Each structure stands twice: as structure tokens, then as C-alpha cells.
Amino acid sequence: MNEKEILGLKELELLSEMNNEKKSDFNRIAVIGGGNIGQGLAHAISQNGMDVVLVEKDQASLERTMSRLDAALEKEIKRWAMTVADKRAILVRIEGTTNLEKIEDCEIVISAIHEDLQAKLDLFVKIDKICPPQTIFVTNTSTLSVTELAAATKREDRFIGMHFLNPVPKVPLVEIVRGLKTSDSTFRSMQQFAAKLRKTPIEVFEYPGYVTTRVIMAFLNEAMHILMEGVASAEGIDTAIKLGFNFPEGPLSLADRIGLDEVMAWMEGLFRDLGDLKFRPCPLLRKLVRAGHLGVKSGRGFFVYDESGRKI
């Protein structure tokens, strides 16, 4: 092949990428899993003018998810953050279903199921057979390998990670995580998608914990050790960090809000992958999780909470 032919091929590839990017006007997005992140994603995507197919594993889970979403929107109305008309506009764009086949015409499919490698692998193998080749697959994950998940599909170049932080509609950041074979055009498409969600994207190359999880887990773990060693009370530790560093929330309150079982799972994953002692879960954290004190969602963690999630 001569130089002109090689240049011609490169021009065709560039034109193909540009055409793909022009078509990145996303209108219909699938979110699989209706936990805190999935529910928040459905809210954020719909709020920004896109239709959402929200898939749950069974009817009971779907009804619970839609009820929680409704309650979250009502809360926003009470604090004058949105109107009743805004709420209706959001809900009318969300189609709740238990039928995975409904995702076949979506431009992007986001997995927001729990952070379990095998469960995510099984899901992506299944939906890889349902969706056309041009559909972009996204895994919302804070610790799992994007490359390993992508390898289970036939679209490794159109597979990417996006790490959204909770609450999704309010946190203006998303980490866009490139797997080993994620294409540049897929990455740029996800930058455009993040812009439609009014979020600031940061490019992250796959590594355990990425940026936010890796930094925050060491921070939370150290705060727990300070509490366990009796240096200060939980309230004292949170007050010191909030006022001393102008943080909106203390580390122990943050851990309670995330869920202590989730925090422990993330720490164990980082400790396993990196072998660094700073990620070995604090014994006090293990003790609370074993007792079922999981934070806000169980009513008790480092602090005690009422039914509305307010600290007592």
C-alpha cells in the first residue's frame, strides 16, 4: 500500500469518526438498576430533556424505585427548587419497566446495578445480544475494571465507565473512565453526554479507585481510626474537618450517607487491588457493618437518624 492510499484510509477513518460524533445527539437513554445512583441518573437525564428507560429486576423493585423518585421530587418542590410542572415534565420522560428488551432502541445503556463484578458481567453479556452494535455501553462504577467488563462484550471500543457521585442531580462532576480499548470517538461522545447533563467531566484512565474513590476512602478510613482511638468524638471530628477546611460535610457523616457497607466494600476492593494498608478497613467500620448499622439507610451508623434521614 502506497503513501497516498494510507493517507486516504486515515481520512476515511477521520470522516467516519466525525460523522459518528455529529450523530451523538442522544435522545433515549437506558438506566438499568434503580438504586440511589440509578434513580438519580433517571432524574438528571430526564430533567435535561432526554427520555429514560429505567429497568428494574422485578415489579416490586420498580414500584419502590418510582415511589422513591416521586418522594425525592416532592422534597424538591417543598424547598422551592422546582415546580409541580417541572416534576410532571421529569416523570413523563421516564418509562419504568422490568423488560430488558425495551432498551434495544436506546443510544446509551448505563448499568447502575450494585457493585458486583459477576452480576455486571452477566448483565452486559445479556444486553450485548439485545442492543445494536452502535449502542454505547456505560458502567457506573467506582472500583470495578472497565476493561474486564468490556471484554465480556463484542463492543470493547464502545464501552466506557462513568462514575457519578450521589446525589447525581446535584453533584456537578462525573469521572469518564477509559478502558484499554475504549475508542476516542466513544470518549468524545460521553463528553458530549456529560455536557447535556450539565456536568464537568474529567478524563480518567483505568486504575483501582480512579480519582474520587481512591482519595475519599483513605480520608474516611483515617477519620474512623481517629474515632476508634478515642482522640475525639464523632461530632468533634466532623466539626473539625468542616470548619477547619471549609468542607460542607464531615467524613463520618459522609460515610453514613454513602452507606457503611458500601464504604467497606470499596475499601476492601482497593486493599485487595493495591495492597496498601491505608485502605484496610478500620475495625470499627467492620464492627458497625456486622451490627447492621449501615448509616442513614438503616437509621444508625456513626450517628443516629430519623425516618427522613435527618441526624438526631
What are the pLDDT digits (tens) for 178-210?
A: 999 999 999 999 999 999 999 999 999 998 889
Confidence (pTM): 0.84
Tens-place pLDDT, residues 26-53: 999 999 999 889 999 999 999 999 999 9
DSSP 269-282: HHHHHH--GGGSPP
Domain ranges of the chain: 11-205, 212-298
Q: For residue 177, with 0-12 CB atoms within 10 Å meaning exposed, 13-18 middle and 19 or more buried, which class applies? A: buried
Q: What is the per-residue pLDDT across 256-278, written as a single tens digit (0 to 9) for each?
A: 999 999 999 999 989 998 999 99
Q: What is the pLDDT of residue 308?
A: 77
Non-local CB neighbours of 204 within 8 Å, separated by 6+ positions: 161, 163, 175, 176, 177, 178, 210, 211
CA distance 101 to 103: 5
Confidence bin at 1 (pLDDT 50/70/90): low
Q: What is the pLDDT of residue 3?
A: 47
DSSP state of 160: E
Burial label, 268 (beta-carbon count in 10 A; 0-12, 13-18, 19+): middle
The arrangement of secondary structure in 11-205, i.e. its CATH architecture, is: 3-Layer(aba) Sandwich (3.40)
The three cell numbers of residue 185 are 470517538
Note whether 110 and 138 are within 8 A (CB): yes
| Phi and psi angles of residue 125, each rounded to the nearest 5 degrees, phi first | -65, -40
CATH number of the domain located at residue range(s) 212-298 in this protein: 1.10.1040.10
